[in-house]
Amino acid sequence: MSIPNPSRKPVAQGEAPRPLTPTTGKVYLVGAGPGDPELLTRKALRLLQEAQIVLHDSLVSREVLAEISPTAQVIDVGKRAGQKLLTQEEINSLLVSYAQDHKIVVRLKGGDPGIFGRAGEEIDALRRANVPFEIVPGITAATAAAAAAGISLTDRRAASQVLLTTFSRGVDGTQMDWGCVTSTTTLVLYMPGPDYAEVSARLRDGGLPADLPCAVISAASNARQLVRWSTISRLAKEEKLPAPALLIVGRVASQHAKEISEQAWAALDESIPAPSIARFI
């Protein structure tokens, strides 16, 4: 990976970037969507074709990267096999630094920048350094995966709310109160990981019925797209699908309208009691 102006030292961890004056350019936090370049917004496409610098995550597809201007400096700041190429603090510092010399700096993120994209930390750094920025939303994985599977996340026959969350295997995961999940909740689980048995156990420990439908969607909107229909109990034995994958849990995740419209949670008419808590963020 080649980084322009290597003499510029990234800020130390936890240190706020120093304000730079005057700032020549602007930083755009752009959503790359789920991978299909035809799902890019017109504004996102224009910025990719006008940018001088593009810093992108590993989840951005090759097809979307191909839309970047050939004259732009393209920098991969993503994660490979759990190893980060740059720390978040170093990425923050680069965004601030590049905006001093370049009119359009794009921070390209898979899906939507505001959904599990760590955009908040970059926004804070840009604000502290008085660097102009703009968020360009993209199609997030939840809606892309639902579209791929032909699922309506808020089908009025079965769902009145959607909960977006991620699965955490670390001890520092934020505890999720299962009392907020009701019989009309669609649960969308980003990054479920390769251990479906553990996910299945956590969902059952949280009080979800074993026969509740779910669907795993891999590489939504891409040519490699796969959809696996299951239930919480069967999920433990399902073949693992390639990352990036997403899990949709709820009555809407059924291929059969009858299952969607019937009450699948007879004992859970109002809400799930929450004596049991699993770790999610």
Q: Which residues does the annotation mark as catalytic?
A: 57, 79
Q: What is the 3-state secondary structure (H, E, C) of the chain?
A: CCCCCCCCCCCCCCCCCCCCCCCCCEEEEEECECCCHHHCCHHHHHHHHHCCEEEECCCCCHHHHCCCCCCCEEEECCEECCEECCCHHHHHHHHHHHHHHCCEEEEEECECCCCCCCHHHHHHHHHHCCCCEEEECCCCHHHHHHHHHCCCCCCCCCCCEEEEEEECCCCCCCEECHHHCCCCEEEEEECCCCCHHHHHHHHHHCCCCCCCEEEEEECCCCCCCEEEEEEHHHHCCCCCCCCCEEEEECCCCCCCHHHHHCCCCCCCCCCCCCCCCEEEC
